[in-house]
Structure 1
Amino acid sequence: MTVPTSSQSTSPSSSPRTSPSTSPSSPSSSSTPSLDDVRVLVVDDLEQNRKLLHAVLEPRGFLVRSEESGEAALRALAQADVDVVLLDVLMPGLDGYETCAAIKGNPRTALLPVVMLTASGTQERLRALEVGADDFITKPFDQAELVARVRSLARVRRLHATVVEQAAALERWNSELESRVAAQVEDLERLSRLRRFLSPQIAGLIVESGDESFLESHRRDITTVFTDLRGFTAFAETAEPEETTWVLREYHAVLGELVFAYEGTLEHFAGDGLMVFFNDPPPCPDAPQRAVRMALDMRDRVDDLAAGWSRRGYDLGFGVGIAQGYATLGRVGFEGRWDYAAIGTVTNVAARLCAAASARQVLVSPRVRAGLDGRFVTRSLGPLELRGIARPLEVHEVLGLSDDTSTLQEAP
């Protein structure tokens, strides 16, 4: 179909299927901003009409491609991205309505703006809207109006593309954020598990490094500390449950703080009993000294608690046993409830030394005493028979710290 424009002159004898001689008006740089990357597909069966639309749009910065049929237009849209389609209505084969319906029926091009070039008839306009056309230009068209409509629809198309890109970017960002949150939650869960038996500092370092190989079964030379309260069983039998809970809460808070301060590994709390070991997972070259210093600080802190307990009529004392030796260490338990445990004779010896200790006594094995320097005052208690231990064990009591650090202090 011929596409006359309001800015061209026509001859009375001009055929309706020919394009009259015309020159398009020059673009106005002041009124129309350049959009030289807007891609326009012109679809018209008449070459002169296609050339006319090229002549109108290209000087204004549009990238124009043309096809002579609806079928060719659909093939072109399957291969290239376009911002706006200018579509003639009357064409052989697929007409403009059928071509528009096919464009709108394809999910890939459903939102592509289509401007239909129609006659002035209302029925043509209604049918164009029914098949999904976004706009229409009535022939003869005004060049400025055509350019403005194409530019407006291209802007909408670009805005929609931007929204789609932003939505995709947001989806990617959300996916990445979900992954990060999942990783952080996993780290927090790991940190929570590790903090059951490690100081917050050590647990944090392990989570940061991502190395949990220490949880696998292994052997290590460790120094083990057992503590409990003298007289607790009798106290728990006569005291109200609330009183027992209150005492344990105070006791656990004090001891737990010191375990983490000395960077010990907390194996377990069980009532008034506590087991801590040193030199695993983090290496501790001065494990015996650190264990004994922690025990002495615990004794001093529990002395303060015991004074308050005594005023309430609770007769409770604090005893400690410390031993050094090899143990098998690693994760034990089941899914959802894992613990970190040390298994070996050294833990039994520490427990038996603790059971043999009187109130305020810190009893240590020979290897622990040998690992102490001159800051510690000790005395020998001689060989002691310990329940569950085959042979008598040379036991030493740590009395405290001395200002003289030249030699290991042995009390008379």
Structure 2
Amino acid sequence: MTATILVVDDEPDLEALVLQKFRKQIRDGTVTFMFAHDGIEALQSIEDHPHVDMVVSDINMPRMDGLSLLQKLQEAEDKKSTIIVSAYGDMSNIRVAMNRGAFDFLTKPIDFGDLEMTIDKTIRHVEMMRDARRRQAEAERAHASLSRYFSPQIALRLASDGEGNGMEVHRREVATIFTDITSFTSLVETAAPEVLGALLNEYVGGMTDVVFAHEGTVAKIIGDAIQILFNAPGDQPDYATRAIACAHDLDNWAQEFRERWKAKGVNFGATRIGVHAGPALVGNFGGSRFFDYTAYGDTINIAARLEAANKFLGTRICVSATVADGTEKFKGRPVGDLMLRGRSEPLRAYEPLSAAAFEGPARVQYCEAFAKLETEDAAAMPAFAALVGLHADDALAGFHLRRLLNGAKGARMQLE
């Protein structure tokens, strides 16, 4: 680095003396000097040459003295490190200079050895401050980039730790949410492009805000489908609880969104949500040119299958027993043992419920009927029939009643 130093002094011989004393450093390219004869000339010189690194200024000068110049320099956005030169014993002006932000001071007559050491110290300070600003700018760029994928809290932590920290591919336990919109393809084929663009952008933006409120990670957005992660990239011991809470809020937001657009004459489908937890391969899979932080593995596939299961069950949220068991004070009701595509063993699934629905009599009645279903009790059919008679809008109870009417038995079911 070549340090550019502006010397401000009205003494006619000082320029020649400085160039003579620092000729080796000038020849080596470590420093370059500029000169001004008063504060006004110095400010103009800095305006013309903003790359000036530091200023060495006398106090007593015509038009604008050194203390006034120092104040102007400290008021600027790019505060120049300034060494003030004062008469020996002029402690009053030295105190004023230091209080106004001078980096250091020298006394007259100038000891050029002392000047050289002070300049070297100031250059080190300038380099340190420049490096700090560079790191801050890099952190801000990293934070802006990471904020597209992660909640503000996680993005800030990752940017502080370094953008690549935690991004390497590794295996870890995660909770994952898959969401999809019912009949979205038909909407794409019929809606005007400007309507579809506004609708989808508002939908994805709102859903992302909900995810970030729970400090989740948006791993993928493919059309209308969203993949969400918890416990990645950072540790979240309560990741299952977070995932369930997030699923509830996503469902509530999507329902409100659907009603808003329905009032505008747009038939927007219901959002289906699947949640599972387990090991997954997590990290940046985008190579050196792209950033693609996501997760792969059976855990991710199961969450997607649970999302699709809602279509058959009539539910909007379907979660695995793994998530339900890992959630503090889980409130829900059993769906059954699902035989999902690609799996040889059944997976117990649940429908999460709001606190009001969980405490209500309908949930108790459903669980009593489901207990009969599990044991293949013949009383299961009239129990579900009675439930549907009281709650015709209970889609899951209606699903089980239809199964029983079609001759099915037990809680194990093949949906696909």
TM range (shorter): 0.5 to 0.7
Contact kept in structure 1, 2:180 and 2:271, CA below 8 Å: yes
Q: 343, 346, 370: which is aligned to 2:325?
A: 370
Contact kept in structure 1, 2:176 and 2:275, CA below 8 Å: yes
Per-residue CA shift, 1:310-344, capped at 9, x if unaligned? 12232311110001111111221122312222111
- 2:149 equivalent to 1:197: yes
- Matched residue of 1:215: which SS? coil
User: Higher helix fraction: Structure 1 or Structure 2?
Assistant: 2
How is 1:10-409 mapped onto 2 (pairs within 5 angstroms)?
107=23, 158=110, 171-210=123-162, 212-311=164-263, 312-358=265-311, 361-374=316-329, 376-380=331-335, 382-402=336-356
CA distance in 2, matches of 1:291, 1:399: 14
Q: 1:372 to 1:378 in 2, by over 3 A?
A: farther
CA distance in 1, matches of 2:259, 2:298: 35
- Deviation at 1:160? 8.8
Q: How many residues align?
A: 266
- Matched residue of 1:275: which SS? strand
Aligned residue identity for 1:401: A
Aligned residue identity for 2:188: A
Q: Identity percentage over the alignment?
A: 29
- Deviation at 1:259? 0.9
CA distance in 1, matches of 2:269, 2:302: 23
CA distance in 2, matches of 1:298, 1:106: 68
- Matched residue of 1:222: which SS? strand
Which 5+ residue runs of structure 1 have no aligned equivalent? 1-82, 85-102, 112-154
Contact kept in structure 2, 1:332 and 1:339, CA below 8 Å: yes
- Matched residue of 1:383: which SS? strand
CA RMSD, 1 decimal: 3.7
Contact kept in structure 1, 2:315 and 2:351, CA below 8 Å: no
Per-residue CA shift, 1:273-317, capped at 9, x if unaligned? 111111222222222222111111111111111012212232311
CA distance in 1, matches of 2:25, 2:350: 88
TM-score by length of 1: 0.56
CA distance in 1, matches of 2:231, 2:216: 8
- Matched residue of 1:267: which SS? strand
Q: 1:248 to 1:159 in 2, by over 3 A?
A: farther
CA distance in 2, matches of 1:404, 1:321: 19
Q: 1:309 to 1:388 in 2, by over 3 A?
A: farther
CA distance in 2, matches of 1:167, 1:186: 28
CA distance in 2, matches of 1:360, 1:301: 16
- Deviation at 1:108? 5.6
- Deviation at 1:403? 8.2
CA distance in 1, matches of 2:137, 2:163: 17
Contact kept in structure 1, 2:317 and 2:352, CA below 8 Å: yes
- Matched residue of 2:327: which SS? coil
Q: 1:356 to 1:104 in 2, by over 3 A?
A: closer
Contact kept in structure 2, 1:375 and 1:401, CA below 8 Å: no
Q: 1:156 to 1:253 in 2, by over 3 A?
A: same
Aligned residue identity for 1:270: I
CA distance in 2, matches of 1:313, 1:295: 24
Contact kept in structure 2, 1:361 and 1:398, CA below 8 Å: no
TM-score by length of 2: 0.55
Which 5+ residue runs of structure 2 have no aligned equivalent? 1-12, 27-32, 34-106, 368-416
Q: 1:352 to 1:158 in 2, by over 3 A?
A: same
- Matched residue of 1:276: which SS? strand
